Amino acid sequence: MPLGTLDRNPPPFFKQGPSALSKLMVFSALAVFLMVADTRFRVGQPVRSVVATVLYPVQWLAMRPVFLFRYGGQYFESLASAQSSEAAARAKLALQSQRANQVEQLALENDRLRKLLALRERVTTPGDAAEVLYDAADPYTRKVIIDKGLAQGIEAGSPVIDESGVLGQVTRVHPLISEVTLVTDRDQAIPVMNVRTGARSVAYGDPASPGSLELRFMAGNADVKPGDLLTTSGVDGVYPPGLPVARVDKVERRADSGFARITCSPQALVDGARHVMVLKAGAANVPPRPEPEDAAPVRKGSKR
């Protein structure tokens, strides 16, 4: 048989589809498209909510051995550690008792000053208690997960505090759980006020020192000293005023820059908080909008 009559094409069984490079380019483009669409339009939010709801029982069961090991270790602590904790608690109780004796006088002075300046009385912000389940899996952020969500009325943007101060803010809410971004996260900012001087500033999470905060854009000659207490100023309408946020640790005044580098340590237990309080969204802290004034009366002889 002449060679020209032979079929040189491979059988259908050995035929291949698109090349590996073509598949790589198509799937890479699809991945980039999905990431941009999720970032801009939140197309993946329903999927995240469903997955978080479905995995919640599994996460709860997976954390039981961890809790058992943790509490088992605490149960077998030594007597010396227990006595040390008791001594620290007694010292803290004595300090709180000393401050409690001054509450009545300070409250009376505060009430007189508010009435003198015609300021409205401070409204107590309601809140819900929650429990921290675990830290977020992202190693580049400072977030924790709490056991309250949409079913319990938690809203995005709500402040979160513990017994020592401001812990963070709710940034994502699922049906049964919520994500809280801590004050030490590099993308988190909170308006603060220096209790000693009354100066206002903004505290950011310090990326150069994880677990700390930084006061940015403060002049080199600003009146800030180590040990100054920073509280929420309330100017943003999100955090109620007067909540402890951080304490100044170090102030570096550099000659080559017009700004000082001020490092602070958070007052809240950002690395060990267990039970927290989620306050209502900041809209409750904003005073109502004033009513429009009546139109001025028209003078006689004037043209309308």
Please name which of 235, 160, 222, 168 lies closest in space to residue 196, comparing C-alpha atoms.
222
Q: What is the pLDDT of residue 116?
A: 46
pLDDT digits (tens, 9 = 90+) for 245-258: 999 999 998 877 78
CA distance 36 to 42: 9
Residue type, 108: L
Q: What pLDDT shows up at residue 164?
A: 82
Let me know: does 149 contact 295? Beta carbons within 8 Å. no
* The token pair that represents 149 in the structure block: 């969500």
- Is residue 202 classed exposed, middle or buried when 0-12, 13-18 and 19+ CB atoms within 10 A define those classes? middle
Tell me which residues of the chain have a pLDDT lower than 50.
116, 118-123, 284, 295-296, 302-304
Using the CB atoms, write b or e for 118-155: b if 16+ within 10 Å: eeeeeeebebeebebeeebeeeebbbbbbebbeebebe
State the pairing for strand pair 143-146/178-182.
Answer: antiparallel
Here the tokens at position 55 are 């995995």
Residue 231, strand partner residues: 193, 244
pLDDT at 213: 94
Please name every residue paired with 144 in a beta bridge, in sequence order, or none if there are none.
135, 180
Q: What is the pTM of this model?
A: 0.60
Q: Which tens digits make up the pLDDT trace of 211-266?
A: 899 998 888 888 999 999 999 988 888 888 888 899 999 999 887 778 889 999 99
The C-alpha angle with vertex 153 and arms to 150 and 154, in degrees rounded to 5, equals 70
